[in-house]
Amino acid sequence: MKIKPVEIKKILYTTDLSDTSLHAFSYAASLANLYNATITVLHVMSKNINIEPHLAGILDESQWEEIRKRHRSELRDALIGKSRQEFMAEDALDQFTKNVKTDSSQLSFDVDEILVINGDPSEKILEISKKYNFDLIVMGTHGHSLVADILGSTARRVTRRSEVPVLSVRLQE
């Protein structure tokens, strides 16, 4: 059997802004560095959830306050049709990736795009993965629980249905 070399040029990194998904970014960045690949960051959110506390957790206080100041005006939201939370999430994730690049000077990676969209996470991840032809999906997984076993976690649903490999990263205890 001949083994075909793996070529990874486009990585889809998904985040729910949890510690586990932020830990998974180290894998996405390392693989991007190793394969000279680009990363697209995807956060899928529900319109009914306030994500501001989660966003504040990925940045230092001064960076978070700067982002909040930039998004006090709702006029831009109305003109473009995006919610204030979507803009704030995009800015916070952009700053987060810049922070990682600065803190990890030995890693070289490029972030192609930061996408913040509404909908069902597993459905949107699969949709974006197919639309942009990614070579790999990197996402955090929260492990097993009774609810996750019954309903199925996002990582599990994506892994089962994805046409490309999925790297599920668990937070080390």
Residues 87 and 138 in one domain: no
pLDDT at 75: 47
Residues 94 and 123 in one domain: no
Domain-embedded: residue 41: no
pLDDT at 45: 82
Residues 70 and 90 in one domain: yes
Range of the domain at 76: 47-118
- Secondary structure (H, E, C), the chain: CCCCCCCCCEEEEECCCCHHHHHHHHHHHHHHHHHCCEEEEEEEECCCCCCHHHHHCCCCHHHHHHHHHHCCCCHHHHHHCCCHHHHHHHHHHHHHHHHHHHHCCCCCCEEEEEEEEECCHHHHHHHHHHHHCCCEEEEEECCCCHHHHHHCCHHHHHHHHCCCCEEEEECCC
Number of domains the chain is built from: 2
pLDDT in tens, the chain (173 residues): 899 888 999 999 999 888 888 889 999 999 999 999 999 999 998 666 666 666 666 777 777 677 766 665 544 554 455 566 777 788 888 888 888 877 766 778 899 999 999 888 999 999 999 999 999 999 998 755 544 444 458 888 999 999 999 999 988 76
Residues 110 and 62 in one domain: yes
Residues 124 and 166 in one domain: yes
Q: What is the CATH number of the domain that holds 142?
A: 3.40.50.620
Residues 158 and 139 in one domain: yes
Residues 70 and 86 in one domain: yes
Residues 107 and 139 in one domain: no
Domain-embedded: residue 15: no
Q: Indicate whether this model's pTM tops 0.75.
A: yes
